[in-house]
Amino acid sequence: MLTLTIVALYLCLAGVGVYLIKQSFAKNHARYPPGPRGLPLVGNIQDIPHVKPWLTFAEWGKKYGDILHINVLGQHIFVLNSFNIAVEMLDKKSSIYSDRPFVPMSGELMGYGQTLPYLRYGERFRLFRKNCHRIFGSRAAVVVYHPIEETETRRFLKRALAKPDQLQAHIRHTAGAIILRICYGYEVKDDNDPLVDIAERALDQIARYGITGDFMVDFLPSLAKVPEWFPGAGFKRIARECRETLEEMAAAPYNFVKDQMAAGIALKSFSSDLLKDRTLTTEEDYVVKWSAQSLFSGGAETTVSANYSFFLAMTLSPDIQKKAQVEIDSVVGHDRLPSFADRTSLPYIEAICKEILRWNVVLPCTDHSVTEDDIHDGYNIPKGSLVIPNIWSMLNDPQKYANPSEFNPERFLAKDGKEPETDPRMVCFGFGRRHCPGLHLADASIWISTAMSLAVFDISKVVENGVEITPKVDFTSGLISHPKPFKCSIKARSEKAFALIQQDI
């Protein structure tokens, strides 16, 4: 009996040994995915484009496959052009794929390493997420903020009708008003609000300077120690100015809500809910302050891009606009504006909102970093590698979306026995533990703006000197992608629509 036990033990140890040897062999012999061939020492540093890199990544994907590898000065970068691969890696193995890379320019020098999108994976990150989930974690949780979104959208209708040539500014103002009220209980002024101005300044800076790799310091972190006056160190001045703006953006509204609470007049908000009935430690105060700032900056910018895209799409798609208006008229009528209570009864409006999110991808690419060595599908993914899901490519995949460049809401409606195409909200808000925590709030803001605008506006091409001006479909390159400025005509659909717009709020 003892002999059998010893034999069994030896067999068990042998099996473990064989397993470990196989794992070691697999790790040592696993190859990198294919990708463009780089140069000695510097790798692919000359191959990575600075303008709309997601387009180049998508083209490389056609040649090299859904997961490809590039190397920049020894930094391994893996681009994922496939939704399924992104799910397999970033969702199912989120425990090791949820870090962010250290980014010397935007993360360290500009100060964005303090915000949730840049925060390294760890305890502070989990606290940020916990705060956000507590307030915005589900559609049901954001219902309490629906009246704010409806009120501010009605104010937007008035401004857009009065000055349609300032459409983008109106959209930005409205997004700022909604998120400031929700995050801090702050009600913006009609024009030139100081907090909206700070936000616009900060968001413009991160859009212009926040792309990883646009500055050499991202590849040579030692350059961060170069003094600002040194020749060629202009990036240090840019970073300092951006950091000052960011710190002001975080502190000003946070101090406002604290002052309001001390005076006993604070409105309900994300910050006041986290601050009330508590004495915070220095760390807790920091987490609340920067959690709120992260929601403020994220919510203020992403919905601007989506809502501006809506007006571009409607300018170019009169038939879609008319079909949407028929649905609203039949469900809502002409005597009131749509509200969130109508949402389940307006499937075509819902489809338009999905198509807005797919057609112009607000965040075309995001960055993940790996905290442990991994082997995925036979490929070696070393610890510290940068993993980039190409969200633009996934939402323009002709295998999933027929004629992806076409704006077509009907792709999301079951028709003639065909199943709807993949809901873009499964993709556009990110993956794993890095998905957007304010996605339900953003989704609601886009929906109410779309529904109310279609209820009262006729949106069309501008006519100048007898010539109809067709806007060009082109989107900016940057961390966040916006439609490039365009002209459109915005008019009230009828006298009843005009009266609804002008109603007192």
For the chain, 505 residues long, give each residue's pLDDT as a single digit of tens.
334 333 333 344 344 343 333 344 444 457 999 999 999 988 998 898 889 999 999 999 999 999 999 998 899 999 999 999 999 999 999 999 999 998 899 999 999 999 998 999 999 999 888 888 877 778 888 899 999 999 999 999 999 999 999 999 999 999 989 999 999 999 987 777 888 888 888 888 887 888 777 888 988 899 999 999 988 889 999 999 999 999 999 999 999 999 999 999 999 999 998 898 778 899 999 999 999 998 888 776 779 999 999 999 999 999 999 999 999 999 999 999 999 999 999 999 999 999 999 999 999 999 999 999 999 999 999 999 999 999 999 999 999 999 999 999 999 998 887 899 999 999 999 999 999 888 899 999 999 999 999 999 999 999 999 999 999 999 998 888 999 999 999 999 999 999 999 998 7
Residues 6+ apart with CB under 8 A from 431: 86, 87, 90, 91, 94, 368, 389
C-alpha angle 484-406-78 in degrees, rounded to nearest 5: 75
CA distance 476 to 492: 30
pLDDT of residue 29: 52
Query: How is residue 141 written in tokens?
Result: 């949780």
Phi, psi at residue 80, to the nearest 5°?
Answer: -105, 110
Given this model, what pLDDT does residue 257 score? 96
| Burial of 323 from C-beta contacts in 10 A (0-12 / 13-18 / 19+) | middle
| Residue 365, marked binder | no
Backbone φ and ψ for 108, nearest 5 degrees, come out as -95, -60
Please tell me the distance from the alpha carbon of residue 363 to that of residue 211, in angstroms, as a whole number. 12
**Residue 264, φ and ψ in degrees, nearest 5:** 75, 20
- 127 and 105 in contact (C-beta within 8 Å)? no
Taking the C-alpha atoms of residue 455 and residue 500, their distance in angstroms, rounded to an integer, is 10
Cα 321 from Cα 112, distance rounded (Å): 39
Question: Do the bridges between strand 368-369 and strand 457-460 make them parallel or antiparallel, or are there none, so unpaired?
Answer: unpaired
Q: Which amino acid is at 87?
A: V
* Token pair recorded at residue 102: 């250290």
Element (H, E) at 135: helix 123-136
Question: What's residue 330's pLDDT?
Answer: 98
Q: Is the pTM of this model over 0.95?
A: no
Q: Are 54 and 392 in contact (CB under 8 A)?
A: yes
Q: Please state, in angstroms and rounded to a whole number, the distance separating the CA atoms of residues 348 and 342.
A: 12
β partners of residue 67: 80
Structural domains of the chain, with CATH: 105-361+403-502 (1.10.630.10)
DSSP 8-state symbol, 228: T
**Which 8-state DSSP code applies to residue 362?**
S
